[in-house]
Structure 1
Amino acid sequence: MSSKIKQYFANKENRIKCGITGGTIALAVIIFVGMVFMEENETQNNSIETVSQTESDTQTEEETGYSFNAGDLYDMRLDAQTIEDYYMKSCGDQFNLYTIDEDGVLWGSGHNEYAQIGLGYADEEFHEEKSKIAEHVVHVDYSQKDFVVYLTEEGKLYGLGNDSTYMLLQHTEMPVEDLAYPTKRYVTSPALLLEDVSYARCGRDDVVALKKDGTVWTWGMIWNYQSTGYCITMPQQILTDVKMITGGWFNHAALKEDGTLWTWGYNFSGNCGTDKATMIETPVQVAEDVQCVWTGLLNYSAKEDDITDMEEFGNDYVDNTIIEKTDGTFYACGMGVGDKSVVLPQYYEVSELDTVCSSEFLPLDWDEEMLNRKQREYIERKESQSEEAVLARKNEALLEEIDKNYDMEKLKRKVPRFSEDDKINEAYYNAIKTLDTTGFLPDGRYCFYIEQDGRTDVERFQEQRAQHYSPERVAVADVDGDGTAELLFFIEGTCVRDSAEYVYRYSEEKNAFELEFEYSAGCNYYQNGVIKAKPLYSGFIYQDDFWPYSVFQYDENKNEFVLTASVEEIPKVPENPDNFPEEYDKDGDGKVYIISQGESVKYLDEQEYLAWKKQIFWMPEMKIDWCELGSNKELLEEIDKNYDMEKLKRKVPRFSEDDKINEAYYNAIKTLDTTGFLPDGRYCFGHQKSNVDVERFREDMERAYCPNKVAVADVDGDGTVELLIFTVGFYMADITEYVYRYSEEKNGFELEFAYAGGCDYYEHGVIKASPLHSMYSDYQDGFWPYSVYQYDENKKEFVEKVSVDQITNVPINSDVFPEEYDKDGDGKVYIVGQGESVKYLDEQEYLEWKKQIFWMPEMKIESCELGEILK
């Protein structure tokens, strides 16, 4: 063979004829491959060798360890009618996986040595996360030689990845030696390969495409790794009148409209269905009356959806062609078929391969019923392993655990009784339990916002419940005025604006609860079966504490509340100069009420509106006693029982000589110490969600940088002391300081000041508030920016009066440093902002200004650390 080595191209119709010889020495993987280029007739003459020339009948199929059965076949597409039915939405192995999602987006994952997964570059990493390759994709196929091809809705075929042997058509100039030792060539972004394509498949080193006109085109390399092979550098038409093509490691097959089967490629083990040659370049007819054909892998989709779940690639059927005849019988040729043993060249190992094979199609004991059964088994297994199925099983286990541990007797003690009828009460308690444990309301709707992934399982409910604004609430009241009680639910989501209220009546016929009313807002219920429903936000400004609302009246015929009126107010403000209905404002108070009832709209003056309102709400408002679900009631009761209030009184300073005030003071500190809630209702870890139970607070305190602190001092200078609270989150930079004054009217504490930073308090009611971090770091002489707050007696709160910063003459500020204000040339200027006014002060000017602001001494605040005080 070595005497025939010629280094030249016989370039005829874009085809390069080549022969390759190689030997593998032991397991050291020292390979020498010589390239042989021969004239077309020489190649054809030398390739006439049969697969059975070394036949030996001494070994059986069983002795060689080969079996030929249906194996793990799950997607053979036996019911396919058109070429579109053969489109592949996923393909791959443990090295690479490609999937097309429901939106037609192609994704790739795995190895990226040849830039084959769409990242736009090559690397040596293994990428478990999928990367986007293209949109509007209908079909994809992948070769184990690190390239992928895909078809778009427009019939355009693209390729990406390895282009070492012409498979992606982007490197057509290739030295001779590259066909034996291919240079690493690859395509980093999708390259257009062919248009008007209806289907395409990958071989190991080549591509075959079926055009919409029924012609078959191919390009790339087919070789046998031992002797001769061939390359096609540009797409070449090889067949017409074809309705289906296949892709295989060694050979391809095409099924014509007349049912004849044509094959070509490396006929290693008779896998082309003929014994005429080992390298078949031009397709040959090998069978008739064929309706389906498979070469290589028999499944049209990848076994898994995630590359981390992909099993090691198996070589089943890569050396076979399998067909289904029009009468429903199955035949196969190639390795493992028949009972004749032959010795074949082995290109992966030193020794030759002794096995059974057949170049004749022999019947299999397969039938569609058996294959369909295997497909059903696979689908059932796949579904049982899907994320949804795993979640469902987990959910079921959680529900069983909840059922086992749920204290129904405690629930019955906690919520009011619904009826004297035990059967009705059972339905009532079960409805509440369902909401309390799963988040589902009696009519089957989910109580919280359903997120994009659609999950409403117990785990998701528990996650959302931990974030929502307050616990779910239930009540029992006759709100429709029919003489029997209804079940009311009040739900708040992750913020107050997510509120919704529901009214359910009991249906004796269904022994269940049916919806009478729902509204995404806050409601007032009246004894005459009327509901006043107010939205939680509006785009307008109103006067005299008015808020728009709708009126719902119970309709006995419909068994539900129906909308009867909506009420708005339009005030005479600058925002409404053109549309204020002046003619209806009879008393000239600058407001008119708009009452919409169906298609009728009325404009009413103040007195007219009040008279209308009396007719609607002619019976008193009902007092609804809400009961919280999933709350900390039991934990709080336990804390109450064990909390040592006397110890707290000894630990923290006394606030007042008035026992009533002191009681409110100590209770406020106890609430903070045990639940994390400040006197005005905010949670001390501000970045957390507002719905926090005692358990969550304890967890947060364990992570907190240091305990909460309290102090008593007259920081606003009004002659009475205030309660100061210092809270620190999970980092020192999360510190926040609060000032609360006691309100005699409310017998509670009201906020005067809050600042997320560090504060200095001065005796004349001034606070110097410094942020804990700044955008800049080029300050001099220990300066740090700050704001000045002054107590405003009218507003009863601290208001910002001025902010102070420093700008230094350093390179980063060279373009903006105000040189003209730096009179002493020390390279720093102070910026004092008061409202819209900004002053630039030199060092001396700043010091003089500062004396005027902080003209009284700084106060010394003595704080006391908290920490749950239990007996």
Structure 2
Amino acid sequence: MNSKIKEYFENKENRIKCGITGGTIALAVVIFTVMVFMEKNETPNNPTETVSQTESDTQTEEAAGYSFNAGDLYDMRLDAQTIEDYYMKSCGDQFNLYTIDEDGVLWGSGHNEYAQIGLGYADEEFHEKKSKIAEHVVHVDYSQKDFVVYLTEEGKLYGLGNDSTYMLLQHTEMPVEDLAYPTKRYVTSPALLLEDVSYARCGRDDVVALKKDGTVWTWGMIWNYQSTGYCITMPQQILTDVKMITGGWFNHAALKEDGTLWTWGYNFSGNCGTDKATMIETPVQVAEDVQRVWTGLLNYSAKEDDITDMEEFGNDYVDNTIIEKTDGTFYACGMGVGDKSVVLPQYYEVSELDTVCSSEFLLLDWDEEMLNRKQREYIERKESQSEEAVLARKNEALLEEIDKNYDMEKLKRKVPRFSEDDKINEAYYNAIKTLDTTGFLPDGRYCFYIEQDGRTDVERFQEQRAQHYSPERVAVADVDGDGTAELLFFIEGTCVRDSAEYVYRYSEEKNAFELEFEYSAGCNYYQNGVIKAKPLYSGFIYQDDFWPYSVFQYDENKNEFVLTASVEEIPKVPENPDNFPEEYDKDGDGKVYIISQGESVKYLDEQEYLAWKKQIFWMPEMKIDWCELGSNKELLEEIDKNYDMEKLKRKVPRFSEDDKINEAYYNAIKTLDTTGFLPDGRYCFGHQKSNVDVERFREDMERAYCPNKVAVADVDGDGTVELLIFTVGFYMADITEYVYRYSEEKNGFELEFAYAGGCDYYEHGVIKASPLHSMYSDYQDGFWPYSVYQYDENKKEFVEKVSVDQITNVPINSDVFPEEYDKDGDGKVYIVDQGESVKYLDEQEYLEWKKQIFWMPEMKIESCELGEILK
């Protein structure tokens, strides 16, 4: 298509406007052409309408044929043999896209001014999301005049969308005169157009269908958008013995069984292969020995599967007909073909065109090998530019970088040796390396949850790994009891689905590892080849720390662990009044165990269950020595070796007279001092726990305003001291104070209080906690807002009791200042928020209230800075 025309049509408004341009010509001209609109005889030759050709200079066609740009080729179907081979599974442009999925469902997306995408209504929105139109669809074609036709498995042809010029046959009562001023008419639900159809194509304003008996039928309108054209209001048979039809913007072609080619329509540039007239109503024979034909686009499907990826204007060759003859040669007619310069009449709003055209089919320098090569090149180029290909290249580059820098010797020092056989060990280390660098397990599965986009590349693995709860772990142990070791993996990701344990055996035949067992993380391994596997969650309530589990036993014949029993407990609680099996609770302790072993189910009392359990787990549980991947194990070992615990003990105050408690105390401080982790497992600075290692902690400490501090004091007033930790990092969120109490039961420290800000501690178990910043800045007399926390003995933690703020009578508060509470007129009122009640206090009232809250002296906390305790 000429570039001026193509540029003009790329505007949606112009496409719609051009559809009515001919109608805006004087009504007298339309009436004059009514005789043409009647379904009559073939239009006689009209010299005034014949395409004008003026030979500028005589040139002889080269034997090799004329050069003609084939454009992007990706779906020419040069190997098609039957009409079904030409079925179109997708079609469209940047305005509308239609696709048929593998299940035969037709989907539409894009503009919906004429209800053309199957929503059942018209609107002015652009719909990126595909909507379902129909099922059992085998073929679809789309007109850029906002209507679509599709063919079902039963041979029924349906249409949807614009029906302004009879193309969908639902407004045939519309007077022909109305075409002068077209009214917006459309079909909101699929309308049956014709039956016993084998193929169909759209023109711009018409439809052509090939029936199973070889007859060709057409209806709708073909015109030149000026004043001439013809219209068929009901399906009309125009040809017989046809095996192939095409659809273009302006003209159509039909290929008969005998190889003759017939064309009709708007012959603007000789694109019908004849110079008889510019408007051909009745098909005329224009070529022989033809095996394939294209009018318009050389491809049969859309370039993209998603309308948001569609960029280019639809048909590339609206002014050409291209044929392949039975001897494999290609010919073309129409605009841009040959070397004869012609002047074409005014075309829509584009001025007269001076270009080359041919109404005769001229030989091209094409052949099937060249076209197939161009098609392969385009497909390869397109695939190389796809998001998947770009990601694959990026992934490959990352893998090369990782492989170049991966320290295999360090891995061999870190994890235990698997075998005395170097060949087996090589497979073993490579399997661990693959998991450690890509996230893929030995059997090819991905270790983390695969997200909706399906990505499992190295970059995604690194992102997920940065968020997981703990590093991947490996171990070597003979857990199936066959006398040879297995490779165990423990994965704990960012969600329940990521947490799992795997057991792999080595296969000499494949020189690789094969899966024996997998289960959600939480397994106990026993020396008799039994695994006790616990689920991560359950929907029931249990007693005595019971948790449901399954029993897996290694099966030598299957070379895998198989489920042999599952165990549940049902307690006698209010939630189970109707389900509790009272008759099996022989000792009346309100517990019954349910043992499911295949088809049999046993209900056991406590003693019966313990006896059954002893028979299953009759050998000791194995101790699995897990080794963390991607961790700082070696660095931690180095730190541990060089840490001067005696210096720490001299530096910080003793916590208790009990050596056992003191050991837990010193170890908690050492952990904070070397790794940044607090006694309850949280990291002391503003990072997710999963993003942290020893090197990161060292980097954070270098940027911190001051070292972390510890203190010992009885701040909750319960008579025993607590461990206080003060962290001051690089960000405000890092400035936090913590209070931990010692738990004899856990021989560890549990959190009582944490606050990001500055705290004052009082002897009666009260903390005054001041935030680091406030949304107000107009305080007087050095006041700063604060909250009051009181120790709760039942909850064993500090709970917030009240928050205090001050509002001053300054211009910015003129509308909100509570004047009535400012009794002394000093322009200050205190707001005391005690949860359900809020008090507004004058200066004296506030001081009296404050005296009641802080009635015991403030404590003097002696803190000690950590750091510099390495030898």
Alpha-carbon distance change, 840 to 13 in structure 1, aligned in 2, over 3 angstroms: closer
Inter-CA distance 60–829: structure 2 relative to 1 (3 Å threshold): farther
Q: What are the residue-to-residue correspondences of 1:227-626 with 2, within 5 Å?
A: 244-255=244-255, 261-287=261-287, 290-303=290-303, 317-325=317-325, 330-337=330-337, 342-345=342-345, 347=347, 357-362=357-362, 364=364, 366-495=366-495, 498-626=498-626
Q: Residue 491 of structure 1: CA displacement?
A: 1.5
- In structure 1, C-alpha distance between the alignment counterparts of 2:12 and 2:813, rounded to whole Å: 71
Post-superposition shift, 1:221?
Answer: 6.9
CA distance in 2, matches of 1:18, 1:287: 32
C-alpha contact 1:291 1:323 (8 A) present in aligned 2: yes
Would you say the 8 A contact 2:804–2:830 is kept in 1? yes
* Aligned 8 A contact 2:52 2:344 in 1: no
Deviation of 1:298 (Å): 0.8
Task: State which drifts further: 433-442 or 466-475.
Answer: 433-442
Task: Out of 259-268 and 88-97, give the one that drifted further.
Answer: 88-97
Q: Is the Cα–Cα contact under 8 Å of residues 35 and 176 in structure 1 kept in the other structure? A: no
* Contact 1:20–1:33 under 8 Å retained in 2: no
2:29 — aligned with what?
A: 29
Query: 1: CA distance between counterparts of 2:152 and 2:576?
Result: 55
1:90-119 deviation line (CA, Å, top 9, x unaligned): 556688877666688888999999999999
Cα contact 1:293–1:324 (8 A) shared by 2 = yes
Give 1:270 deviation, angstroms. Answer: 1.6
In structure 2, how many angstroms separate the alpha carbons of the residues matched to 1:313 and 1:416? Answer: 63
Pairwise CA RMSD: 8.3
Distance 1:567 1:226, change over 3 A: closer
What do the CA deviations read for 1:827-871 (whole angstroms, capped 9, x no partner)? 999999999999999999999999877655676878899899999
Give the whole-Å Cα distance in 2 for the aligned partners of 1:610 and 1:455.
47
8 A contact 2:735–2:756 mirrored in 1? yes
Q: Secondary structure at the match of 1:192?
A: strand
What is the Cα deviation at residue 4 of structure 1? 28
1:10 and 1:823 map into 2 onto residues whose CA distance is 75
- C-alpha separation in 1, matches of 2:654 and 2:315: 83
Q: What is the alpha-carbon distance in structure 1 between the residues aligned to residue 495 and residue 831 of structure 2? A: 39
The answer to which of 378-387 and 827-836 deviates more is 827-836
Instruction: Kindly provide the CA deviation profile for residues 221-255 of structure 1, in whole angstroms up to 9, marking residues without a partner as x.
Output: 75557885567899988778876543334423345
Partner of 2:642: 642
Q: For the residues of structure 1 that align with 2:305 and 2:16, how far apart are their CA atoms?
A: 39
More displaced stretch, 51-60 vs 774-783? 774-783
Q: Name 2:854's counterpart in structure 1.
A: 854
In the alignment, is the contact (CA less than 8 A) between 1:5 and 1:34 conserved in 2? Answer: no
Change (3 A) 1:465 1:177: farther
- Answer whether contact 2:272 2:334 (CA < 8 A) is retained: yes
CA distance in 1, matches of 2:413, 2:832: 62
Cα shift at 1:543: 1.8
Q: Residues 715, 107 of structure 1: CA spacing in aligned structure 2 closer, same or farther, 3 A cutoff?
A: farther
Give deviations 1:548-600, integer Å, cap 9, x for gaps.
22222333333333333322222222222233233333322222223333333
- Note the C-alpha offset of 1:89: 4.6
* CA separation of 1:720 and 1:577: change in aligned 2, threshold 3 A: same
- The 3-state SS of whatever aligns with 2:635 is helix
Higher mean C-alpha deviation, range 606-615 or range 740-749: 740-749
CA contact (8 A) 1:335 1:355 kept: yes
1:321 deviates by 0.8
62-71 or 620-629, which deviates more: 62-71
Query: Residue by residue, what CA displacement relative to the aligned partner does 1:175-226 show, whole Å, maximum 9, x if unpaired?
Result: 9999999999999999999999986655567666778998877788755578
Contact 1:197 1:210 survives alignment (8 Å): yes
Task: Specify the alignment match of 1:672 in structure 2.
Answer: 672
Question: How far 1:796 sits from its partner (Å)?
Answer: 3.5
Q: Give the CA deviation at 1:695.
A: 5.5
Identity of aligned residues (%): 98
CA contact (8 A) 1:713 1:861 kept: yes
Deviation at 1:386, TM superposition (A): 3.4
Structure 1 pair 710/107, CA: closer, same or farther in 2 (3 Å)? farther
Question: For the residues of structure 1 that align with 2:111 and 2:706, how far apart are their CA atoms?
Answer: 48
Decide whether aligned partners of structure 1 residues 555 and 8 sit closer, same or farther in structure 2, where only a CA change above 3 A counts: closer
Question: How far apart are 1:277 and its partner, in Å?
Answer: 0.3
Paired positions, count? 871
SS at match of 2:355: strand
1:544/1:833 CA distance change after superposition, 3 Å: farther
Q: Which of 837-846 and 298-307 deviates more?
A: 837-846
Bigger shift: 649-658 or 557-566? 649-658
- CA distance 1:698–1:104, shift in 2 (3 Å): farther
Residues of 2 paired with 1:167 and 1:812: CA distance?
A: 69
Q: Pick which of 774-783 and 785-794 moved more.
A: 774-783
CA contact (8 A) 1:17 1:40 kept: no
Matched-pair contact (CA < 8 Å) for 1:24–1:30? no
Q: Deviations over 1:352-404 (max 9, x none)?
A: 76665432335556554554444344334433443333333333333222222
Whether the aligned pair in 1 keeps the contact of 2:37 and 2:232 (CA below 8 Å) is: no
Give the 3 Å change call, closer, same or farther, for CA 344–723 of structure 1 in structure 2: same
| Change in CA separation of 1:437 and 1:362 when aligned onto 2, cut-off 3 Å | same
Shift of 1:629: 0.9
Indicate if the aligned counterparts of 2:23 and 2:182 stay in contact, CA closer than 8 A: no
Asked whether the 8 Å contact 1:803–1:833 carries over to 2, the reply is yes
**TM-score, length basis structure 1:** 0.73
Which stretch of the first structure deviates more once superposed, 305-314 or 603-612? Answer: 305-314
Cα 1:128–1:224, aligned 2, differ >3 Å: closer, same or farther?
same
Give the deviation of 1:736 after TM superposition.
6.7
CA–CA distance in structure 2, aligned partners of residues 679 and 496 of structure 1: 25
Q: Secondary structure at the match of 2:753?
A: strand
- Segment drifting more, 465-474 vs 647-656: 647-656
Structure 1 residue 730: Cα displacement: 10
Q: How has the CA–CA distance of structure 1 residues 502 and 711 changed in structure 2, closer, same or farther, with 3 Å as cutoff?
A: same
Give the drift of 1:625.
0.9
Conservation of the 8 A alpha-carbon contact between 2:38 and 2:231 = no
Change (3 A) 1:211 1:603: same
Q: Larger deviation: 282-291 or 561-570?
A: 282-291
Q: CA distance change for structure 1 residues 801 and 354 in 2, over 3 Å: closer, same or farther?
A: closer
Kindly tell me: are residues 279 and 464 of structure 1, through their superposed partners in 2, closer, same or farther at Cα, counting changes over 3 Å? same
Instruction: Check 1:552–1:707 CA distance in 2 against 1; reply closer, same or farther (3 A cut).
Output: same
Question: Is 240-249 or 495-504 further displaced after alignment?
Answer: 240-249
Deviation at 1:413, TM superposition (A): 0.8
Q: Is the 8 A contact 2:593 2:603 kept in 1?
A: yes
Higher deviation after alignment, 779-788 or 403-412: 779-788
1:633-687 per-position Cα deviation (integer Å, ceiling 9, x unaligned): 3454576689899999999888679898677556545644664432111345688
Say whether the 8 Å CA contact 2:490–2:521 is kept in structure 1. Answer: no
Structure 2 residues not aligned, in runs of 5+: none
Distance 1:211 1:820 in 2: 92
Change (3 A) 1:631 1:819: same
Q: Using a 3 Å threshold, how does the CA distance of structure 1 residues 697 and 121 change in structure 2: closer, same or farther?
A: farther
State which drifts further: 508-517 or 759-768: 759-768
Worse-matched range after superposition: 746-755 or 848-857: 848-857
Q: Which secondary structure does the structure 1 equivalent of 2:7 belong to? A: coil
Change (3 A) 1:102 1:453: farther
Give the deviation of 1:414 after TM superposition. Answer: 0.7
Q: Could you tell me which runs of 5 or more consecutive residues in structure 1 were left unpaired when the two chains were aligned.
A: none
Contact 2:36 2:229 in 1 (8 A): no
Secondary structure at 1:648's aligned position in 2?
Answer: helix
The 1-side partners of 2:834 and 2:5 are apart by: 91
Further displaced range: 303-312 or 466-475: 303-312
Q: Relative to structure 2, which stretch is displaced further, 596-605 or 186-195? A: 186-195
Shift of 1:516: 2.5
Deviation at 1:509, TM superposition (A): 3.1
Would the aligned equivalents of 1:502 and 1:519 in 2 still touch at CA under 8 Å? yes
Structure 1 residues 690 and 132, CA gap change in structure 2 (3 angstroms): farther
Q: Which moved more, 1:547-556 or 1:272-281?
A: 547-556
Work out whether residues 506 and 513 of structure 2, in 8 Å CA contact, stay in contact via their aligned partners in 1.
yes
- Would you say the 8 A contact 2:36–2:230 is kept in 1? no
Cα distance in 1 between the residues matched to 2:234 and 2:790: 82
Evaluate the alpha carbon distance shift between residue 276 and residue 363 of structure 1 in structure 2; reply closer, same or farther with a 3 A threshold. Answer: same
Instruction: Give, in whole Å, the separation in 2 of the partners of 1:530 and 1:828.
Output: 74
> CA separation of 1:76/1:39 partners in 2, compared to 1, >3 Å: closer, same or farther?
closer
Shifted more, 262-271 versus 93-102: the winner is 93-102
Q: 1:53 to 1:391 in 2, by over 3 A?
A: closer
Contact (CA 8 Å) 1:768, 1:787: kept in 2 or not?
yes
Question: What is the CA-CA distance between 1:437 and the residue it aligns to?
Answer: 1.8
The alignment partner of 1:806 has SS state of: strand
